[in-house]
Chain A
């Protein structure tokens, strides 16, 4: 199992079009349009969001790629760490808010 998540594999991302070129081309165009330029959000803000998502989804490729992208858009370590904390508290909050469901059901189950 040691060959999962080799950093060299990130370079092969483009190969996802090998068996479905049009869909891959569509995806990469969409990807480039969203992340490649300043829009309503700056490239730096988008990179920080992507870094947070990369952590929430635990994607090592994305963590490497968006750590670099944050640096290349002028972000600093405090901003990057704060973005990861946003991901962390969202995951914690999402877990905890489900306890309302648990309490609702608990009330039905307890006399």
Chain B
């Protein structure tokens, strides 16, 4: 028999209860603005990275419908305050509507960022075999900001995380981007790299590592880029599975908890962006998206691109869980790198 009294479910408390940690420290994290629409348009990827929070792979087929891409563009058009479109995946270039999405967002005057894994240029589409060698020219023509993962300036760490042969292909792909002017001073074409630790440890200081990358990539491969973003591995999905299998999950969470930094908490990315899933659902970030923790408005109603209302989005309570410790540890972590 159904109880007449509907009790609000309370998540079991643990030492990794992020909401409780914020309360204990007297920190309130609320949206400050929404200047970026981050859209995950496909889970298909040519790579199978060992830390991937999306669980992306060549066999995944989820992708955003043309109608929902049009809806995202309509939202961008209606909201001049959302100045940036951050397109991610999977490898977003594998979505059949990717080129059109970029072209139309650029035509709206938006700053377009693409999370480009480099190797897709050479690998092409794993399912259709379509070539993607045109991407450097396409990116340059639309002056897209390219953000690419390269977990180290050497082969060992890079191939350990992203698969055998990835470092060599990434170097070649960067060479092609450099040839179009990407990363070259004065070109206005931004090529930013992303560093992820290759295991359950925190990133090194961003500025020092960026200097190492610039020196080594230039000296050994003649490559240039603009900035390095250090991003902490999130203890979810594929990386969590690795942590659990190797008996390191709790130790990693303990490390993140011990490194909690209130200054990093102030700068978390969920305060300035919203994330859209391939099915049009809205989330506080790409990590919440992968955990299917929908963003909700102040009345607890799920947010979606289909009834997108800026005020409801801006006044939403951000949804937290244990993985949020990844964004607040040490120097902090976001899609734009360190936050503190």
Contact = CB atoms under 8 A, between A and B. Distances in A.
Contact of A71 (B199, B205, B208): B199
Contacts of B205: 43, 73-74
Which applies to chain A's interface (DSSP): helix, strand, loop or mixed?
helix
B224 to A, nearest CB: 19
Contacts, number: 28
Nearest to B330: A72
B241 interface: no
Contacts of A78: 154
Nearest to B199: A71
Nearest to B153: A76
A76 B154 contact: yes
B209 interface: yes
Nearest to B204: A74
A74 B154 contact: no
Interface string A68-82: 100111101110000
Interface string B184-215: 00000000000001110111110011001000
How large, as a class, is the contact surface on chain A? 10 to 19
A55 interface: no
A57 interface: no
A99 interface: no
A73 B204 contact: yes
B157 A76 contact: yes
The 7 closest A-B pairs by CB, nearest first: A74-B204, A74-B209, A71-B201, A73-B204, A72-B201, A72-B202, A68-B201
Interface of B: 152, 154, 156-157, 197-199, 201-205, 208-209, 212
